[in-house]
Amino acid sequence: MTSSNAAPRDPSPGSPSSPGFPDFTRPDAGTALVSEWLTGTPERSRAAADAVLDQWQGQSDLPEALLSLSAFVAADGDSVLYYAQWTSDDAHRAYVKVHRPVMIDRIDAEIPGIERPGLTRYRYYRSIVADRTRPSAVLIAVRLEADSEQLRREWIDSIAATPAGDEPVGLVAGHFHLAEDGRGILNLAEWTDIQSHIDWLDSTTGQNWRNTLDRPGIHFRDFKRYHPHRSLTVG
């Protein structure tokens, strides 16, 4: 298993291996914006994802600060996860302050009733790469919280120190992000398929891993499985 961390960064381990996945490690991404829209059904989820990507792709003058936008549909079909990379939070805030209301109004007119719990701002921290020769087909989003900034970095670094050869069968890569609140942790893990993830969670090693997710100072919140739908890369 190899890893890439924030300084220095090696872009090659995290480069996307399959369509629909962004390059989580790109060094020009100053911020990663993650939000989930609750849609209720697979049909509405796909429609919402297409509506967002269509609006962005239909613009003749995309903002230079936007680097990528990816949409992932939940495996149970009830929601869409959006992952966007921008050069900075300030650039994103300045743009959406003017343009977002119009975009949202258009989508709500087409697909009414979407719930939006909110957006979280993250910084990419480091990646763990198991085997880039395997195609990615599933994204597992794991959310945790830590009691301190130092503890969350230490916990991620300890996970990255797992000896080579101990990776779960089906894991392609895991990309750790730090929320700007100083507590949140997001691991976006690429897997080959859902069944491999289920089998691993039911195994002894999977149970041992789950025990590390809720130890003193580290608090597991939830995880969810998604399929890549569409991705837009600008820069």
- What average pLDDT is seen over the chain? 89
Q: Which two tokens stand for residue 67?
A: 């680097």
Bridge partner residues of 89 (DSSP): none
For 46-55, 57-66, 83-92, 160-169, which range has the lowest pLDDT when averaged over its residues? 160-169
pLDDT value for 165: 63
Q: Is the pLDDT of residue 32 over 90?
A: yes
Q: Is the pLDDT of residue 8 over 50?
A: no
* Cα dihedral 19, 175, 80, 208 in deg (nearest 10): 120
pLDDT value for 10: 32
Q: Tell me which H or E stretch contains 85.
A: strand 79-86
Kindly indicate the confidence band of residue 125, based on its pLDDT and cuts at 50, 70 and 90: very high
pLDDT value for 14: 43
| Cβ neighbours for 78, distance < 8 A, ≥ 6 positions apart | 38, 39, 40, 41, 45
Burial class (CB in 10 A: 0-12, 13-18, 19+), 77: middle
Say how far apart CA 127 and CA 155 lie, in whole Å. 13
pLDDT value for 197: 95
Say how far apart CA 235 and CA 231 lie, in whole Å. 13
Q: Is the pLDDT of residue 159 over 60?
A: yes
For 11-15, 126-130, 154-158, 186-190, which range has the lowest pLDDT when averaged over its residues? 11-15
For 83-87, 134-138, 176-180, which range has the lowest pLDDT when averaged over its residues? 134-138
| Coil vs helix vs strand at 144 | strand
pLDDT value for 205: 82
For 16-20, 45-49, 134-138, 168-172, which range has the lowest pLDDT when averaged over its residues? 16-20
